[in-house]
Each structure stands twice: as structure tokens, then as C-alpha cells.
């Protein structure tokens, strides 16, 4: 049995689609899977059970990447096609059942909308698969010892990023003598090209407690490292969804993006958003490529309370 699974180019949406992928795998033990996705998301899927191939969809002029996908797939009969991009070209493949993303019903969580592709009554939590290589690396980078607070201080556009000095102060409070995780180590996650924007934050963390992972990991390695952490705090980003999928308590900081759609999914997730709502947060002639942070109405006190409440809820669930 063969399946073609076409998912997002964006990392966050690709992570949210993994619950759907997991459901198909659990329902079809002998399935052979080809995954088509964007280059940024491709590393997420390299350990998927039953994986035969990953087709990386690099965007091309005149949408020719869809023609390329058709050329690569037309010679195979697909028992199942799940097309989360609703690409017309998938109607032209040799296939059995085809499933696309239904129309939005309004303010519907992205995970819930994806669930309706197969079963609207069952929302599968996002999950990723790792192998011994990722787990061994994670153990080396985050060895046993004091608890670790994971921090995701970046995002794909600056307006979504909480300022570094706020992260520094929040870390001091959460890991201080009276914090929820006193004496904890601090792991900073991000891409290599994001290092300049987090340099001051990294420098603020005492060297003996600092775990600098910026630019050192691909997505699946980051996922394995996140599983070894105690708490995650970060901006609305793909890394936020990665942390939630890892199962650790995840506090997401939102401002100019709709948390009603893209809040992290999981039992131990929570959102703190700016006092300024979506209808008032954007300046006139807003340009996401040039805008400074729009997160200034989210105070350190608000984030600290959110982290404390989430941690209390997590600890109570384990008693």
C-alpha cells in the first residue's frame, strides 16, 4: 500500500500535520510513504516509519514545482493521496482515495482543520519520529543534571519576537532562587542566521548554565533535545510547535499573529499574548520585512505568571 502525503512548506504547519500522518500510519501498518514538502520542513520527516522517499518542493516560477511533482509521481499508483496543499495536479495522478483540506469553518485551530481531512471526531496530536542518532546527540548536548529551560527567542519575522532583554529577565526570574526551576540550565535554540539577534541574550546567561544550540541542530535534532528539557518559552514559531510536539510544557508568546488559529497543541501548552489585540497592534503601513517588534505590550510579569501557571498545572497533573 502506497501513500503520497503532501504537506506544508512552512515548518509550523508541517509539524501540525504530523498527527494526521501518525493516524494513517497507525491504521495501515504496511504502508509505504512518500512525503512532499518544502525544503525547510524536509528534515522533520526523515525517520517516519515506512518512509520510501521525501520529495523536496523548491518553489519555481509559474508554479512549475507542481509539474515536477506530477512528473515524479505519475508512474506510481497511489492507494492514498493526502494533499494538504489542495494542489489540482493531484487529481491527475493514478490513485485511489484522495483527501484534501476542507474549507475553514472560521476561527478553527489549524490542527482541528487538518483532523477533518480524515476524521473530524479525532484530533491526533502532532508527533515526530527520531532514531538512535538524534537521541544520542541530544543526550550528549543536554546531559543529565539540573533541569533545563528551553528558550526560542526568534521567529520568521521580527514583529513576532519578544525583545532579548525581556527573555533575559524572564530567565533570571524562572531560574532564580525563588523561581519555578531554581538553578536550571538554559538552552537557546535558533538557526545560525539568527545568531546576531540573540547574541546579547546568549551573553547574558552565565557560561556554566548556558547551552548554546543556535545554528548547531537541524529540526529533528532540536526535537530530540527539546524532549530532554523541562520547560519551553518562546515566540510564535515553528520551534514553538516543535516543543509542544515533544510533550514538554510549552509557553507561547503571541502578539501580531492569531493564537486562536496557531496556538501550540497539547495538554501542557499555554499562550500569553500582548495586551494590544490583533485589531490594534499593527501600525499604519505595516511591513513585516521591516517592522520592529510589536510585542512590547507583553510584559515580563505577564510571561512569568503564564509560566508559573503552566508549571503548576503540569506538576499537579503528575501528582
Per-residue pLDDT tens digits for 238-281: 999 999 999 999 999 999 999 999 999 999 999 999 999 988 99
* Contact call for residues 299 and 276 (beta carbons, < 8 A): no
pLDDT in the model for residue 314: 97
Residues in the chain: 319
Which domains does the chain possess?
2-115 (3.40.50.2000), 132-318 (3.40.50.2000)
The better pLDDT of the pair 304, 115 is held by 304
pLDDT digits (tens, 9 = 90+) for 33-69: 999 999 999 999 999 999 999 999 999 998 999 999 9
Distance CA 211, CA 190 (A): 12
pLDDT digits (tens, 9 = 90+) for 168-191: 999 999 999 999 999 999 999 999
Report CA torsion sign: 262, 264, 267, 268.
Answer: negative
Amino acid at each position: 500500500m502506497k501513500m503520497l502525503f503532501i504537506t506544508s512548506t512552512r515548518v509550523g504547519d508541517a509539524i501540525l500535520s504530523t498527527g494526521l500522518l501518525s493516524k494513517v500510519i497507525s491504521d495501515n501498518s504496511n504502508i509505504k510513504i512518500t512525503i512532499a514538502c518544502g525544503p525547510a520542513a524536509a528534515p522533520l520527516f526523515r525517520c517516519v516509519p515506512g518512509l520510501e522517499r521525501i520529495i523536496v518542493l523548491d518553489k519555481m516560477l509559474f508554479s512549475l514545482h507542481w509539474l515536477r511533482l506530477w512528473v515524479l509521481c505519475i508512474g506510481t499508483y497511489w492507494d492514498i493521496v493526502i494533499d494538504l496543499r489542495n494542489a489540482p495536479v493531484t487529481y491527475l495522478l493514478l490513485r485511489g482515495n484522495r483527501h484534501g483540506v476542507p474549507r475553514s469553518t472560521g476561527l478553527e485551530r489549524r490542527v482541528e482543520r487538518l483532523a477533518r481531512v480524515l476524521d473530524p471526531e479525532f484530533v491526533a496530536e502532532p508527533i515526530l519520529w527520531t532514531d538512535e542518532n538524534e537521541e544520542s546527540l541530544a543526550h550528549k548536548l543536554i546531559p543529565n543534571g539540573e533541569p533545563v529551560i528551553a528558550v526560542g527567542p526568534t521567529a520568521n519575522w521580527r514583529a513576532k519576537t519578544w525583545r532579548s532583554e525581556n527573555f533575559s529577565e524572564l530567565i533570571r526570574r524562572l531560574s532564580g532562587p525563588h523561581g519555578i526551576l531554581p538553578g536550571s540550565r538554559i538552552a537557546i535554540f535558533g538557526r545560525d542566521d539568527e545568531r546576531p539577534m540573540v547574541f546579547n541574550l546568549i551573553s547574558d546567561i552565565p557560561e556554566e548554565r548556558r547551552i548554546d544550540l543556535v545554528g548547531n541542530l537541524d529540526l529533528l535534532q532540536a526535537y530530540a533535545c527539546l524532549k530532554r528539557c523541562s520547560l519551553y518559552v518562546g515566540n510564535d514559531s515553528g520551534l514553538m510547535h516543535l516543543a509542544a510536539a515533544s510533550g514538554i510544557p510549552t509557553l507561547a508568546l503571541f502578539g501580531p499573529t492569531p493564537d486562536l488559529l496557531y496556538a501550540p497543541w497539547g495538554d501542557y501548552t499555554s499562550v500569553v499574548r500582548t495586551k494590544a489585540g490583533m485589531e490594534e497592534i499593527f501600525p499604519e503601513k505595516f511591513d513585516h520585512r521591516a517592522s520592529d517588534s510589536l510585542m512590547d505590550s507583553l510584559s515580563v510579569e505577564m510571561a512569568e505568571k503564564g509560566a508559573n501557571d503552566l508549571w503548576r498545572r503540569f506538576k499537579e497533573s503528575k501528582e
